[in-house]
Amino acid sequence: MNMSARRSFQMVLIVTFGLLFVFPLYWVCISAFRPEDDIFRYLSPLRIWTFLPNRVTFDNIVTLWMSPFARAIFNSIFVAVATVAGGLVVCAMAAFALAVIEFPGRSLVFTVMIVSFLIPFDAIAVPLYNVMRGFGLQNTYLGLILPGIGNGLTVFLLRQFFLGLPKDLREAGLVDGMGYFQIFWRIYLPLSVPALISAGLIMFIFQWQAYLWPLLIAPRTDLKVAAVAIAQFSSAYDVSFGVIFAGAMFVSLIPMIILVVFQQYFTSSVASTGGKE
Amino acid sequence: MNRRRNLYAALFFLAPAIISVIVLRLWPALVAVHYSLLAPRATSYSFENYTYIFGDPVFRNSLWITLIYSIIVNPLQIAAALGLALLMNNRLPTTGFWRTLILLPVAIPQSVSAVIWAVAFRPDGLINAVLAPFGIGPQPFLTSPDQALACIILMVSWVGVGYWMTFLIAGLQDIPKSLYEAVTIDGANRWQRFRYVTLPQLRRPLTFVLVADTVANFLVFAPVQILTKGGPQGSTNLIMNEVYTRAFLQGDRGSASAATVVLVLLVLIVVLVQFRLMNDSGEQSR
Amino acid sequence: MRSLRTRVGLLLLATSMIAASGAAFAEQVTLNFLTAEKDETVAPVIAGFEKLHPDIKVVHTTVPFDSMNATIEARVGGQDSSIDVFLVDSPRVPAMANRGYLMNLNEFRDAADKVSNDVAMGVVSWKGDMYALPLWTSTQLMYYNKDLLDKAGIPYPGAKEEDRLTYDQVVDLAKKAQAAGAKFGFLPEQIDRYYQLQPLFESIGGGSGLTGPDNLTPDITNPKWIEAAEFYSSLFKDGIAPRGVPNDQMSSVFTSGDVAFYIGGPWQFRPFNAAEGLKYGVAPVPYFKGGKPVVPTDSWAVGISPYAAHPDEAKKFVEYMSINPEGALLSVANNPIPPTNEEAYKTYIDGIAALNPDVGPAAKEIMTYELAKNSVSRPRSIGYVAFEEIMNRAFSDIRNGADVTTTLQQAQDQLNSTLARIQ
């Protein structure tokens, strides 16, 4: 098989998988433009209207944006971005200490970090709520952001990455008279951009997906996040699927834009780490 | 002198993370342990809640289901994520776009993804409509105790595989090209290059994905809650759904906390075993 | 120089703002009101109340229906003073009263008694005390698709009480309609929920499923229960009702014109009227031959948190919503379900009747006699929540084809062990 045939085959596979994964989302998007009655009407058997709306309406989009959805999207972005910014600093520092500095009790601290992300967040939501209320943080952005910042999973990811960087880097820094903070800031962080992006992704997704916690700590209308705002369109007696799907469409659009932008970093960071092991 | 300096430095670097982890995770978890030791109407600690849940066939079944689920879903997702990562790790035009599409499902609120899949799995729904032209009769999917767990696995994999793939792609791109060049000169074929360069070099990202994916799968519950509520006949009653049901639907805080503690211990054991295995195999292949 | 002036300016501004807000606080009390309803639903009653009491401002917070319990558990359970008034799903009143999540409202008993019927008063009481005020109630009707009945040559069922069909008759008609082309024959809307299915067991004479002095003893394996459950099971086994359609997508089966008979609440009038090309009528919910007619009932009541920051103002608000006919009517202005307030109900039901001239008068007649005579509340028990949860799972299993007797026996065992922890 020659090179270009192999490449075409690979491209076919990539496109096939891409389409398979995105099809449910495509269905969400077309449903967002359907009148409520039509959403479940053309499921089976397959026909052209299963894949295309036969009556197009913008009512769902209008209803969605007439509600405080714009505010909710802003809240979600703000909370996620603030978490990523704060969390990266906190977690990268912790990971650096766990990977680079030798001190007594290191494995104990590492175990604590691991245990922290084994704890199901939903199961401790009520006691955590009481802690946060003790600090007066209900209905505040800080109440939404803080639980995302100390993320054991992120610490774990970054530690794995730092361990992969050559030990000589630390020694060289120490010989040059650098303190640990300078080694961290000047040597490790610049080499870790791809890992930091991955870590940011973890924290971003954590907040973007968060549902029960925002609902408990900040139910006030002007603090609602997007996932909660969308859930609001289903009540005991009626569920507005069209509007929910319209919400889901926009909620997935924003990460998509962010991801497309960051894709470049993923690919351009290759081999920048130099002499590994 | 050096040791003390190291200790202070470590304290400085670790303090924010440790404080937040203790206040926001471990302390509330300790409260849950406290509740798990208080039987209904009791004022002193006992293991009554634990004996109660282990005597309860519903809880024992949920442990069993969780075990089966984990044994299937984790290897499946990791193999799929690794396969996709290898496929998508190239410089062909538009690959970045397709990668993003595969990652996208993780960005949708789980409540919405569950609605999508509920529609897909309806007996008169999309999947049966797609199968019909191939001569496959209507499948019961979520209404059958034999198929419901597989449906849940399909849905969580749709959500998760792209996510884990992303971490593996990042790992793949950190492998120095020179290593591949070296073994290619030695005449290694594709498989040998994968076996002797890619896999060992991917050990750390793989360990991360293995551990993180396992934990995530142990804690899955929104899809179960929305798609099946644990049924039919308990066949999808994963332990996290059981915890949620006890805590928020049945209002039994004691046994919900006990079940949580059991869950955390279970995951901890599995994760420790995984660390041990990954480190060993890593040492060997070096 | 300039920065000093700016600073002084800012200082003055800040002082005046604090003073202004201080003055505002002195005059106005803010009540926090938690529900699972949309803002539009409660906006009219809040506006009406604020007009009557300009010194009180009501701030509405809404959480999704499924998360209401978790929210109350966390916030009222955590003795949080930031919730004053909240809506309570009425069968949960005993459990919540028992946990101390509801303020005693005995002082309103006489006033509430005058405007509400016994069923509504019963569900807000527990062990002789009143813990919430009745607010809304519910009932159900049997909707039918006129086109599908015409196609099968089935005459439309009547709306009068004496026209009420038995379940067996409806199933026969449903099969006839299916033979003439209907995709499905007969289906209850909340297909595996106790709220919807309790009337089956009550109608046949099997009881609510809970007995004993405090309703903490399960009784779901008696022959009547098994008989009714077998009937329910057969609906799905024989393809009269669909398996695998989630509850919240059920009404779309009717609006798509795929089902002949459909049992649902008055909340369906609006969506059914809006559905293009759908011609429908209403009849009373069927009963079992030899049994009695039973329809589900009850809805949200309104309660006050014992930790409320402003209990006095909260009392004024709940009184306005429940006892004042004007407030009670405003509470259903954007809500399809009936108010418990009998004065307000008269205006409400005329509004329902006016929605659709074809079915309106029949709907008014049916709803009025069902609410007055045939409504049976869910069992009052501190174990109700756990009971409902276990029953819903059992119903879901039965509908998916599990053996009826085995499933009910397992549920009975599970109830025994779960309720024992609550006693």
- Mind giving me the DSSP string for A221-243? GGG--HHHHHHTTB-SS-B-HHH
Domain range list for chain C: 2-137+298-355, 141-296+360-422
For residue C52, give the H/E element and its range: helix C39-52
| Best of A119, A175, A272 to mutate (most B CBs within 10 Å, chain B) | A119
Residues A87 and A141 in one domain: yes
Helix, coil or strand: residue B203: helix
Residues A8 and A73 in one domain: no
Q: What is the spatial distance between Cα A209 and Cα C73, in angstroms, rounded to a whole number?
A: 22
Question: Is the pLDDT score of C16 beyond 60?
Answer: no
Choose among A169, A156, A235: nearest CA to A199: A156
Q: What is the spatial distance between Cα C68 and Cα A206, in angstroms, rounded to a whole number?
A: 23
- Write out chain B residues lying below 8 Å of C385, CB-based: 249-251
Angle of CA points C316, C319, C323, to nearest 5°: 155
Residues in chain C: 423
Residues A88 and A144 in one domain: yes
**A116 lies in a domain?**
yes
What are the Cα distances from residue C338, in Å, to C40, C138, C146, C302, C363? 17, 6, 26, 15, 12
State the chains in contact with C (3 or more Cβ–Cβ pairs under 8 Å).
A, B
Contact A237 C275 (CB under 8 A): no
The predicted model gives C5-34 an average pLDDT of: 59
State the chains in contact with B (3 or more Cβ–Cβ pairs under 8 Å).
A, C
pLDDT band at A276 (very low <50, low <70, confident <90, very high): very low
Q: What total number of domains does chain A contain?
A: 2
Q: Identify the pLDDT of residue A141.
A: 95
Q: Identify the pLDDT of residue C11.
A: 47
**A75 lies in a domain?**
yes
Q: Identify the pLDDT of residue A48.
A: 79
- Per-residue pLDDT reduced to its tens digit, A19-50: 999 998 898 899 899 888 788 877 777 777 87
**A276 lies in a domain?**
no
What phi, psi does B105 have (nearest 5°)?
-55, -30
**A252 lies in a domain?**
yes
Choose among C142, C150, C160, C148: nearest CA to C362: C160
Residues A128 and A184 in one domain: yes
Helix boundaries (H) for C205-341? 223-237, 250-255, 269-274, 311-322, 325-331
Q: Identify the pLDDT of residue A277.
A: 34
**A273 lies in a domain?**
no
- Per-residue pLDDT reduced to its tens digit, C25-50: 456 899 999 998 888 899 999 999 99
Is C67 an interface residue toward A (CB < 8 Å)? yes
- Are the C-beta atoms of residues A241 and B115 closer than 8 Å to each other? yes
The CATH number assigned to the domain holding A64 equals: 1.10.3720.10
Residues A40 and A102 in one domain: no
| Boundary-marking domain end, from A16, A41, A57 | A57
**A117 lies in a domain?**
yes
- Write out chain A residues lying below 8 Å of B169, CB-based: 266
| Boundary-marking domain end, from A57, A78, A95 | A57
More confident residue, C203 or A179: C203
Contact B170 A195 (CB under 8 A): yes
Q: Identify the pLDDT of residue C277.
A: 87
C141-296+360-422 fold: D-Maltodextrin-Binding Protein; domain 2 (3.40.190)
Residues A104 and A234 in one domain: yes
Contact B28 A198 (CB under 8 A): no
For residue C61, give the H/E element and its range: strand C56-62
pLDDT band at A1 (very low <50, low <70, confident <90, very high): low
Q: Identify the pLDDT of residue B283.
A: 41
- Per-residue pLDDT reduced to its tens digit, A165-217: 888 888 888 888 888 888 899 889 988 888 898 899 889 988 998 888 898 88
Q: Identify the pLDDT of residue C27.
A: 67
C2-137+298-355 under CATH 3.40.630.30, yes or no: no
User: Cβ-count burial of C2 within 10 angstroms (0-12 exposed, 13-18 middle, 19+ buried)?
Assistant: exposed
pLDDT band at A236 (very low <50, low <70, confident <90, very high): low
Among A106, A157, A270, whose Cβ lies nearest the Cβ of B208? A157
pLDDT band at A55 (very low <50, low <70, confident <90, very high): confident
Is A5 an interface residue toward B (CB < 8 Å)? no
- Per-residue pLDDT reduced to its tens digit, C155-202: 999 999 999 999 999 999 999 999 999 999 999 998 889 999 999 999
Among B17, B112, B169, whose Cβ lies nearest the Cβ of A93? B17
- Write out chain A residues lying below 8 Å of C39, CB-based: 221
Domains of chain B and CATH, by start: 57-285 (1.10.3720.10)
Question: What pairing do the DSSP bridges indicate for beta strands C280-283 and C85-89?
Answer: unpaired
Residues A39 and A121 in one domain: no
Contact A40 C252 (CB under 8 A): yes
Q: What is the DSSP letter of C302?
A: E
What are the Cα distances from residue B248, in Å, to B138, B220, C70? 35, 16, 6
Question: Is the pLDDT score of C18 beyond 80?
Answer: no
- Write out chain A residues lying below 8 Å of B122, CB-based: 43
Q: What is the spatial distance between Cα A261 and Cα A189, in angstroms, rounded to a whole number?
A: 20
- Are the C-beta atoms of residues C184 and C195 closer than 8 Å to each other? no
- Write out chain C residues lying below 8 Å of A71, CB-based: none
More confident residue, C225 or C251: C225
Q: What is the spatial distance between Cα B233 and Cα C398, in angstroms, rounded to a whole number?
A: 9
> How does C86-117 read in b/e, with b if 16+ C-beta sit within 10 Å?
bbbbbbbbbbbbbeebbbebeebeeebeebbb
Q: Identify the pLDDT of residue B245.
A: 87
Q: Identify the pLDDT of residue A272.
A: 41
- Write out chain A residues lying below 8 Å of C267, CB-based: 237-238
Cβ-Cβ pairs closer than 8 A, A with B, add up to: 286
Cβ-Cβ pairs closer than 8 A, A with C, add up to: 78
Q: In whole numbers, what is the pLDDT of chain C averaged over residues?
A: 90
Question: Is the pLDDT score of C10 beyond 80?
Answer: no
* Domain C141-296+360-422 in the same topology as domain C2-137+298-355: yes
Positive or negative torsion for Cα A264, A266, A267, A273: positive
State the chains in contact with A (3 or more Cβ–Cβ pairs under 8 Å).
B, C
- Write out chain A residues lying below 8 Å of B223, CB-based: none
Contact B170 A266 (CB under 8 A): yes
- Are the C-beta atoms of residues C418 and C390 closer than 8 Å to each other? yes
Distance from CA of A217 to the nearest CA of C (A): 9
Question: Is the pLDDT score of C377 beyond 80?
Answer: yes
Choose among B155, B139, B127, B126: nearest CA to B236: B155
Residues A32 and A70 in one domain: no
Q: C37-51, C59-73, C362-376: which range is least confident on average?
A: C59-73
ipTM tops the 0.95 cut: no
Ordered per-residue pLDDT tens for chain B, 286 residues: 477 888 888 889 999 999 999 999 999 999 999 999 988 888 889 898 999 999 999 999 999 999 999 999 999 999 999 999 999 888 777 888 888 889 889 888 887 888 889 888 888 888 888 888 888 888 888 888 999 999 999 999 999 999 999 889 888 888 888 888 888 888 888 888 888 889 888 888 899 899 999 999 998 888 898 888 887 888 999 999 999 888 888 878 889 999 999 999 999 999 999 888 887 554 433 3
Closest-CA residue of B relative to A206 is B107
- Are the C-beta atoms of residues B138 and B58 closer than 8 Å to each other? no
Residues A41 and A108 in one domain: no
Among A216, A231, A239, whose Cβ lies nearest the Cβ of C74? A216
Is A24 an interface residue toward B (CB < 8 Å)? yes
Residues A44 and A66 in one domain: no
Percentage of chain C exceeding pLDDT 70: 93
Q: Identify the pLDDT of residue C355.
A: 86
Helix boundaries (H) for chain A? 3-32, 48-51, 59-66, 69-100, 106-118, 125-134, 141-149, 152-164, 168-175, 180-182, 189-191, 193-209, 212-217, 226-231, 241-268
Q: Identify the pLDDT of residue A264.
A: 64
The predicted model gives C257-263 an average pLDDT of: 94
Question: What pairing do the DSSP bridges indicate for beta strands C210-211 and C129-130?
Answer: unpaired
Give the distance, in angstroms, between the CA of residue C171 and the centroid of all CA atoms in the same chain.
Answer: 26
Is A97 an interface residue toward B (CB < 8 Å)? yes
- Per-residue pLDDT reduced to its tens digit, C279-318: 999 999 999 999 999 999 999 999 999 999 999 999 999 9
Q: Identify the pLDDT of residue B280.
A: 56
How much is the pTM? 0.86
The predicted model gives C233-245 an average pLDDT of: 92
Give the distance, in angstroms, between the CA of residue C338 and the centroid of all CA atoms in the same chain.
Answer: 10
Chain A, residues 216-275, CB within 8 A of chain B, namely: 226-227, 230-231, 241, 244-245, 247-248, 251-252, 254-256, 259-260, 263-264, 266-267, 269-271, 273
DSSP character string of A170-183: HHHHHHTT--HHHI
Question: Is the pLDDT score of A266 beyond 70?
Answer: no
Percentage of chain A exceeding pLDDT 90: 24
Choose among B268, A196, B232: nearest CA to C397: B232
More confident residue, C422 or A271: C422
Is C40 an interface residue toward A (CB < 8 Å)? no
| Boundary-marking domain end, from A12, A40, A57 | A57
Owning domain of residue A9:
1-57
pLDDT band at C15 (very low <50, low <70, confident <90, very high): very low
Contact A46 B221 (CB under 8 A): no
Residue with tokens 């309406």: A57
Among C243, C249, C396, whose Cβ lies nearest the Cβ of B140? C243
**A217 lies in a domain?**
yes
Among A37, A125, A228, whose Cβ lies nearest the Cβ of C255? A37
